[in-house]
Amino acid sequence: MRLIADLFDKVRPNFEKGGSLEFAEPLFEATESFLFTTDKVTEGKTHIRDYLETKRLMSMVVLAVVPCTLMAFYNTGLQRLLATGVANPSILKAMGIGAMVFFPLYIITLIAGGFWEVLFAIVRKHEINEGFLVTSLLFPLILPPTLPLWQAAIGISFGVVIGKEVFGGTGMNILNPALTARVFLFFTYPSNMSGDKVWILVDSAKDKLIDGFSGATPLAVAAAETGGNVVAALNKAGFTYSKLFFGLIPGSIGETSALACLIGAVILIWVGIASWRTMVGCILGATVVSTAFNFLAPASTNAMLSLPFYYHFVMGGFAFGTVFMATDPVSSATTSTGKWIYGILIGVLVVIIRCVNPAYPEGMMLAILLMNAFAPLIDHFVAEANIKGRKKRATE
């Protein structure tokens, strides 16, 4: 360690003002603070003393995503092995296949997104922020495993540049960059981002598939059901509740497992990074609306309405979105009351989009992004109400 530290001290003058490599200062700074604790303090008049700086915060988020990532490796491989008729797939083999899917997507995300991040940092002379590590890890996890790599590169470029860097970088964006990237891809290349063909890594021309292979996600199965009983239809398609909960189902690479997301949620809440208010709000909102829909269901031909609320939690991206996307401290509401409202509205919207909008059986990412756009408004009204309340108390 001493050796590396000495090396850094030796080359440092080159990167300081007037040095020959002055333009690459952000790169140097990023590498150094990645390996060592930075000795920099905040500039300007205001200071906050806290152990939790962005680097630690982002590292904790990365740690919390690890269970989801491992589950992503396993499930992506497992789905392929099952689809090609392997009876008892070994865990290691499945994880090997999953890793072969995840890492190319992850690396292309790091390269493409990192390029823009570094470019903006050098030109605009701000630091390269660890926030990008979180964005680049979350982004591949919410993609379908069959996505072409160039599309992932285009998506993350849009997310980083338009979603974040034009606003000034980490902490100054309005919408979550990873979600912006995903939703951009969703509307730009719908055939690669939705439907029944994209969720399991098989090539129907080359691979020998099992009989009755469909590749549909549980939400697609539920949305396609025209009879009265959605739960029976799900069970018939092989999606029992425990399978949905553990995440052994087709879907985006890393968002299928509610269990892994739950572990992540415990870590994030325990270390105090993600807001439990937002998470509870999401669950509350979804519960209330889906229960209300259950009462409407007998009068309608739409079978999605009759889906019990606890099924919504384990299908599609609900769990992943609630834990890792909705709680993003930058793009979510910042006031405590605001977080409740924000969370509840996400829960309400996601169930509405899933049940009422036939075009998109999965609504979590869209719902969160929409509420990202409304979060400043929620905060504004909460702050105004606070000011009014205080004024009233002061005059009494």
Partner 1 sequence: MQHYLSLAIKSIFVENILLAFFLGQCSFVACSKKVETAIGLGTAVIFVMTITTPASWFFYNILLRKGAPLLMWLNVPFLDLSFLGFMAYIAVIAAMVQFLEMFLDKYFPALYAALGIFLPLIAVNCAVLGAALFMVKRDYNLMESIVYGASTGMGWAMAIVSMAAIRKKLRYSNIPAGLEGLGIIFIMTGLLAMTFMCFSGIKL
How many Å apart are CA 312 and CA 256, to the nearest integer? 12
Residues of this chain, 333-352, that bind partner 1 according to CB under 8 A: 349
Kindly state the number of chain residues that form the binding site for partner 1, as judged by CB under 8 A.
35
The encoded tokens of residue 70 equal 């491992």
Does position 190 interact with partner 1 (CB under 8 A)? The reply is no
Structure tokens given for 392: 């009233």
Nearer to partner 1, 33 or 331 (CB): 331
Cα–Cα distance, 244 to 313 (Å, whole number): 9
Give the other-Cβ count within 10 Å of 27's Cβ. 15
> Is residue 154 exposed (0-12), middle (13-18) or buried (19+ Cβ within 10 Å)?
middle
Among 4, 100, 172, 266, binds partner 1 (CB under 8 A): 172
Nearer to partner 1 by Cβ, of 236 and 380: the residue is 380
Instruction: Determine, following the binding rule CB under 8 A, whether residue 64 of this chain makes contact with partner 1.
Output: no
Asked if 167 interacts with partner 1 (CB under 8 A), we say yes
Give the residue, chosen from 74, 184, 324, 342, that forms a contact with partner 1 under the rule CB under 8 A. Answer: 184
Residue of the chain from 163, 218, 285, 317 that contacts partner 1 (CB under 8 A): 163
Per CB under 8 A, contacts with partner 1 among 243-302 are none
The answer to whether residue 180 forms part of the interface with partner 1 (CB under 8 A) is yes
Does residue 366 bind partner 1 (CB under 8 A)? yes
| Number of neighbouring beta carbons within 10 Å of residue 18 | 7
Query: Does 24 sit near partner 1 (CB under 8 A)?
Result: no
In the Cβ-directed half-sphere of 324, how many Cα atoms lie within 13 Å? 35
Q: Is 372 in the site for partner 1 (CB under 8 A)?
A: yes
Provide, rounded to whole angstroms, the least separation between the CB of residue 6 and partner 1: 34
Stretch that binds partner 1, among 17-25, 41-49, 57-65, 375-383 (CB under 8 A): 375-383
Q: Which residues in the 215-254 window bind partner 1 by CB under 8 A?
A: none
Task: Determine the interface stretch with partner 1 among 25-33, 165-173, 277-285, 340-348 (rule: CB under 8 A).
Answer: 165-173
Q: Which is nearer to partner 1, 225 or 379 (CB)?
A: 379
User: Of 47, 187, 205, 395, which one interacts with partner 1 (CB under 8 A)?
Assistant: 187
Task: Name 76's Cβ contacts closer than 8 Å, sequence gap at least 6.
Answer: 94, 97, 98, 101, 102, 145, 201, 253
Shortest distance, CB of residue 107 to partner 1, whole angstroms?
Answer: 27
CB 233 within 8 A of CB 225: yes
Residue of 110, 152, 367, 382 interacting with partner 1 (CB under 8 A): 367
User: Integer distance in angstroms from the first to the last C-alpha of the chain?
Assistant: 63
- Conformation bin of residue 316: beta by default, left when phi > 0, alpha when psi is -120 to 50: left
Q: CA dihedral defined by 171, 324, 143, 245, rounded to 10 degrees?
A: 180
In angstroms, how far is CA 112 from the centroid of its own chain?
Answer: 18
* Residue from 211, 224, 80, 230 nearest 144 by CA: 80
Helix (H, G, I), strand (E, B) or coil at 118: helix
328 touching partner 1, by CB under 8 A: no
Smaller CB distance to partner 1: residue 200 or 216?
216
- The residues that touch partner 1, with contacts defined as CB under 8 A, are 124, 126, 162-163, 166-169, 172-175, 180, 183-184, 187, 349, 353, 356-360, 363, 366-367, 369-370, 372-374, 376-377, 379-380
